Structure 1
Amino acid sequence: MKSKFVPLSKPLTFIESMECLPVTVVPEGATWTYEIKLDGFRLEVVRDGAETTLYSRNANILNDRFPYIAKALSGIPGGTILDGELVALGPDGRPSFNLLQNFRSAESQIIYYAFDILAYKNRDLTQFPLSERRGILASVVERQEHIDLSAVSQMSAKEMLAFVREQGLEGVVAKRSDSIYQPGQRTGAWSKHRINLGQEFVIGGYVPSNLGLDSIIIGFYRGKDLIYASRVRAGFVPATRRKVFEQIKHLTTPKCPFANLPEAASGRWGQGLTAEKMKECVWLKPEAVAQIEFLEWTGADHLRHTKFVALRDDKDPRKVVKET
């Protein structure tokens, strides 16, 4: 039996994104479905009357950055809200987060992959099961130059993992086909498993240099505490050192934001931040987020062989947690 349409109880507006729970094992079973984890920006599209508004995960309006996405979706019915991922495809056809950062020169390579529909013609769909929402989504969104649907795989979890590894993709998203849409929640009805090691981290400080900064000091939240994870020096060139410094220097604060510092020793891999090493650091309010790649986690919750990828302005720092 299909679910009944229910009118929205409040005016059409941004709905906080449902979150994926990081997992080390991809869940299996008849109710689970799989999508490729796309390396891009979460983007919510609100079509209110004749206006199309693009919202980041933090409810920032992105129409000025991606006007062609708003224009491409101007034909969907009023009273509709879509959830999806904005992705830039590199020459090899794989998502490239770095390319997405250069959105002004990468317009032809940027695609919005819609994967959910939360409202349709001013009717609330969040209580519909995902399988029904996907059916409605497919009837609403027309594939075109900058617009596509996120493909739902019919593979098993094992086959999906093998495909993602073979193609060098970021990971797998698993969703229960009977799940309702729970705004702002991370219940496990949606989960994500990364193949490559990399995630977002909060920047809590930096080590200065004549180029602005030499390295950034990063961490993640565990409950209310910001936990130090690493210093990151690789991945920067002189231009990015200056650019990142200009974007974070206004966050300077006299207080160290990390709950687990100072550490007693540098440790085997030299990532420990002792009281002596902390004298070199400039501390920041934990409001900036960076995408970081790394080799592995150590037993002390530190990272080995880190590399800076990019700053992210679409992530809420308070929701940055350890994902692996």
Structure 2
Amino acid sequence: MLATPGALPNGPEWVFEVKWDGMRLLADVADDRVRLTSRSERDVTPNFPELAELTRLAPDVLLDGEVVLLEGGVPSFTALLERIHAPVLPRTVQERPVTYMVFDVLRLYGVSLLERPFEERRATLERLDLAAIPVLSLSPAYTDGLALLEATRQRGMEGVVAKRRDGVYRPGRRGPGWTKVTHRQTQACVVGGWRPERGSASRIGALLLGVPDGSGLRFAGRVGSGLAGDTAQRVLRDRLVEAPGSPFVERLPRPDSADAHWCEPEIVVEVAHTGWTEAGRLRQPVFRGVRDDLDPEQVRAEK
């Protein structure tokens, strides 16, 4: 289930949680094994071997949550990037284990809980012995949404998710039952091409971004900030697949398309930005990372 962007609701029918800056995962425990899947249904179990401990929680359970890496007590999406893309060495797991912030339970002992109200699912989750597993943490719930929103702003966190107490769980769908309010604007985009760095034909200097609509991939601007690091360069070059022509539905302006290398619209990235122009371009975008947990068809403009 996905949260819908909107204004912070209020009233006794709502509870509030921190919006964690991590990677959304379903953890499916059955037959003494755990399987971790991303929003795009990609199996990422080898990327987070420390979560194998979840088998001690219950013999059959399906959890929804977000895996995070903390820096200074605050989740860092940048720090998590290496873990998102590939399996890791045991030494990395020992030095910097992730935390799975669990906020919902969708099945327990073979019984589906999808149609149960959120308040009941939350109570069921709280009865599990989550504290017995060091890498597992229950995402706290609060009744004062405004206070939580201000606290997350002061700590530099992403924002707040409001959830209706009586809401049922709708897998993969947005709805009025979950509302997200963020302090910074982010947008998932599909990469349709790239331009080389000045003075280096092999390094990526800018990505050409698009957001799908009903007619195809619409150009949303280009991003160069945040691409200088070796990790970003390596991850992108390993994934971008050359295409014979532009995947965008419109003809790009010459300043954006000059020296462009077109690629198949298969890779999703996330950028931070300061808003949208009237022409539908992102203002001052900054590259945050590749979103291997999203498929291109899941990308929508969030304005």
Settle same-fold status: TM greater than 0.5: yes
Aligned residue identity for 1:225: G
User: Is residue 75 of structure 1 aligned with residue 75 of structure 2?
Assistant: no
Equivalent position of 2:101 in the other structure: 113
Q: Distance in 2 between matches of 1:221 and 1:170?
A: 25
User: Is residue 256 of structure 1 aligned with residue 246 of structure 2?
Assistant: yes
Equivalent position of 1:9 in the other structure: none
Equivalent position of 1:5 in the other structure: none
- Deviation, structure 1 residue 295: 2.4
CA 106–99 in structure 1, closer or farther in 2 if over 3 Å, else same: farther
Equivalent position of 1:100 in the other structure: 80
Q: Distance in 2 between matches of 1:106 and 1:200?
A: 28
CA 245–87 in structure 1, closer or farther in 2 if over 3 Å, else same: closer
CA 42–227 in structure 1, closer or farther in 2 if over 3 Å, else same: same
Gaps of 5+ in 2: none
SS at match of 1:213: strand
Aligned residue identity for 2:142: S
Q: Distance in 2 between matches of 1:277 and 1:84?
A: 38
- Deviation, structure 1 residue 96: 0.3
SS at match of 2:289: strand
Q: Distance in 2 between matches of 1:119 and 1:229?
A: 39
Given candidates 69, 73, 81, the residue that maps to 1:88 is 69
- Deviation, structure 1 residue 162: 1.6
SS at match of 2:245: coil
User: Is residue 145 of structure 1 aligned with residue 134 of structure 2?
Assistant: yes
Aligned residue identity for 1:282: H
Equivalent position of 2:222 in the other structure: 231
Equivalent position of 1:48 in the other structure: 30
- Judging by fraction of residues, say which structure has more strand: 2
Number of residue pairs matched by the alignment: 291
- Deviation, structure 1 residue 160: 2.4
- Deviation, structure 1 residue 299: 2.1
Aligned residue identity for 1:218: L
Counterpart contact for 2:50–2:97, Cα < 8 Å:
no
SS at match of 1:101: helix
Counterpart contact for 1:88–1:106, Cα < 8 Å:
no
CA 177–256 in structure 1, closer or farther in 2 if over 3 Å, else same: same
Aligned residue identity for 2:293: D
Aligned residue identity for 2:210: G
Q: Once superposed, what is the RMSD of the aligned Cα atoms?
A: 1.9
Q: Distance in 1 between matches of 2:176 and 2:244?
A: 38
| Identity in percent | 32
CA 244–63 in structure 1, closer or farther in 2 if over 3 Å, else same: closer
Q: Normalising by structure 1, what TM-score? A: 0.84
Q: Distance in 2 between matches of 1:37 and 1:277?
A: 34
Aligned residue identity for 1:212: R
CA 183–257 in structure 1, closer or farther in 2 if over 3 Å, else same: same
Aligned residue identity for 1:98: T
**How does 1:126-137 map onto structure 2 within 5 Å?**
126-137=114-125
- Deviation, structure 1 residue 248: 3.1
- Judging by fraction of residues, say which structure has more helix: 2
User: Is residue 65 of structure 1 aligned with residue 44 of structure 2?
Assistant: no
Gaps of 5+ in 1: 1-17, 263-272
Q: Normalising by structure 2, what TM-score? A: 0.89
Counterpart contact for 2:148–2:160, Cα < 8 Å:
yes
Counterpart contact for 2:204–2:227, Cα < 8 Å:
no
Counterpart contact for 1:76–1:141, Cα < 8 Å:
yes
Given candidates 129, 153, 168, the residue that maps to 1:165 is 153
